[in-house]
Amino acid sequence: MTRLSVRQRKELLAKALIEKRARTDIISWILHRGIKNEKGLPMEFGQHAFLLQPYRDWSPRLVCIKAAQIGFSTMAILKTIWAAGKQARNCIYTLPTDDDVRAFAKSKVLPMIRNNPALEGMISSEVDSIYQKQVGDAHIFWQGTKGQSKGIMITSDLNVHDELDRSDLATVETYESRVAHSDYKGRWIFSNPSRPKVGVDIYWQRSDKKQWHIKCPRCNEWQPLDYFVNVCKERRKFICRKCHEVLPDEVRLTGEWVPEHPGRDWSGYHISQLMAPWITAKEIIEAEETKTQEYFYNFVLGLPVIGGANQVSRSIILQCCTEQAPAGRWKLLGVDVGKVLHCVQGTENGITRVFTLPGWDDLHAYIRSQGINLTVVDNAPETEEAAKFCRHFRGRAFRCIYDYDNEREEMIEWSDIMQAKTVRQDKEGVVWAHRTRLIDHTISVFDTGEIYVYIHPNDPQLVGKGKPGVIENCLCDHWETLYTVGADGQDVNIVKKDRMGNVIRTWENSGPDHFAHATVYYEIARQRKMPTRRMTENIKRGQPQVVAASSITGY
């Protein structure tokens, strides 16, 4: 028997160690097996050092709010196949539509499998389609959230939601039940963001918020990469936030992930194009100068934004808070109708209470016990109940019907005042209101300080309990979900048009907005008790508001 030399023994030991690491570490496996991407190019991490930790992060709750073109789809495919093949976890992988699933399979998944015998050998030929693959003893199911295949009956250990913000969020939510019996109960969220407090941003706000920090070679300052701080538009270079010297491109390669909130349940990463060394500062500046604001924030910076439109800030509400005792002659109530009744109460001088009631019987009892003088309720979705309620409190209750009637001079029209118009004689207890103009007006009432808010500014009914990443059931959170579309050419996919095809400026919502509309109904009641005021002007809002100027301090 031939004895091995010391060198040969060392080489065999090193090979065995590499093989062992490749069985337990995905990066070692990728490099040892020579895994190639969908283009047939060998995987490398010299230019993608910022992806090393996300690859190795197997947290059950994982979120990445990201820019485009940074190699994340390749990572998502490999990690999902690894989870199924090496960890025996059944996986559901969702994309926005069935068409996206087919395109993703043809352009990404299938080429990667063909380019890599190591992947091909893991997949059973008996179960191998665009929508389902057997990997070892586990299965991966690719599903569209808006198409025909919404396999809600599939059980899973890991749900991967790719491009969450373009998906049907209600369908995505139903998939949570599919991991209920799993020990792992994995949920991975990857997406370019859209708007604040929507989709991926909700989970990012709940996470430990890891940012990529780099070290200035001149002054040794560690700092997160922030477009508004680290990019000099005059020199078109990356600079240090402290000494303002130019940062070499290789500095962006040698960073480290630093969590802002260590210990939170969700492991979160923010990846922007600033950390991609193949993208220059000049290219990023040109993107800001040539692309829409929404594109630049969402796909270059990886940040949510209210794209070119107005968003309501809680500051205009909180500035109206006062410690004075509530004053006023009339008790007024606005009620938005949903699963529960969202109520805003006040006098002609300001808001005194924000609350919910379980149902119509409770509303009847409340009005009687509190001696409410005038109530305006939402006409929809429970039109019959609203009509019955208004008949019961005839003259003291009206149901609001929103419209976009620009031909009507008045912003508000009351049925009892317009009885001469026979076309509306059957609409007892109805008030018609121009939706856009009235929301504009209500915002202006806060903005100009016309009314008080007789509630402490820290009261949960105003600002909630400060839960990160959650739109709470409170006044300010509901108002902050509103944004305008149609005035600046943005959001063309959701704008409304009149019969002539002209775009109508409207207020849309990115989350629950019940208390906002309850406030609007309260304002209608308040105007009823202030008959000398005419509301015929379309209040114009100020400059568009976006997320904080600093991408890092803001997110």
Q: Smallest Cα–Cα separation from 271: which of 249, 300, 247, 292? A: 300
How many whole angstroms separate alpha carbon 458 and alpha carbon 456?
5
CA dist 340 and 297 (Å) reads 36
Higher pLDDT among residues 509 and 252, named by residue: 252
| 500 pLDDT tier (thresholds 50, 70, 90) | low
Which long-range CB contacts under 8 A does 119-124 form with residues at least 24 apart?
119/35, 119/81, 122/81, 122/85
User: Backbone phi, then psi, for 110, in 5-degree steps?
Assistant: -65, -45
pTM above 0.75, yes or no: no
In this prediction, residue 154 carries a pLDDT of 81
pLDDT of 536 above 50 = no
How far is 271 from 551, CA to CA, in rounded Å?
11
Beta bridge partners of 128: 133
- pLDDT (0 to 100) of residue 189: 96
Q: Mean pLDDT: which of 375-379, 403-407, 415-419, 478-482 is highest?
A: 375-379
Indicate the domain borders of the chain. Answer: 69-191, 204-305, 314-529
Q: What is the pLDDT of residue 489?
A: 44
CA neighbor of 87 nearest in space, from 25, 129, 32: 25
* Mean pLDDT computed over every residue of the chain: 86
Nearest to residue 470, comparing CAs of 515, 508, 512? Answer: 512
The pLDDT value recorded for residue 369 is: 97
Confidence (pLDDT) at 499:
59
Position with higher pLDDT, 63 vs 24: 63
3-state DSSP assignment of residue 210: strand
Per-residue pLDDT at 511: 80
Please tell me which residue, 291 or 547, carries the higher pLDDT value: 291
> What are the tens digits of pLDDT across the range 429-456?
999 999 999 999 999 999 999 999 999 9
- Return the pLDDT at 37: 92
Q: Which of 3-17, 21-35, 76-90, 311-325 has the lowest mean pLDDT?
A: 3-17
The C-alpha angle 258, 164, 293, rounded to 5 degrees, equals: 75
Q: What percent of the chain has pLDDT over 70?
A: 84
337-371, pLDDT tens digit by residue? 999 999 999 999 999 999 999 999 999 999 999 99
How remote is the C-alpha of 481 from its chain's centroid?
10
- Per-residue pLDDT tens digits for 287-343: 999 998 888 999 999 998 865 446 788 999 999 999 888 889 999 999 999 999 999
Provide the pairing of β-strand 186-191 with 61-66.
Answer: parallel
Q: What is the DSSP code (8-state) at residue 325?
A: P
Question: For residue 12, what pLDDT band results from cuts at 50, 70 and 90?
Answer: low
Instruction: Grade residue 24 by pLDDT with cuts at 50, 70 and 90.
Output: confident
Classified by CATH at the fold level, domain 69-191 comes out as Rossmann fold (3.40.50)
pLDDT tier for residue 533 given thresholds of 50, 70 and 90: very low
Residue 546 has pLDDT above 60, yes or no: no
Report the distance separating Cα 320 and Cα 93, nearest Å: 47
The DSSP result for 327-383, as a single string, is --S--EEEEEESSSEEEEEEETTEEEEEEEESSHHHHHHHHHHHT-SEEEEE-SS-H
In the predicted model, what is the mean pLDDT of residues 120-127? 87
**Which tens digit of pLDDT belongs to each residue from 225-265?**
999 999 999 999 999 999 999 999 899 999 999 999 999 99
Is the domain defined by 314-529 classed in CATH 3.30.420? Answer: yes
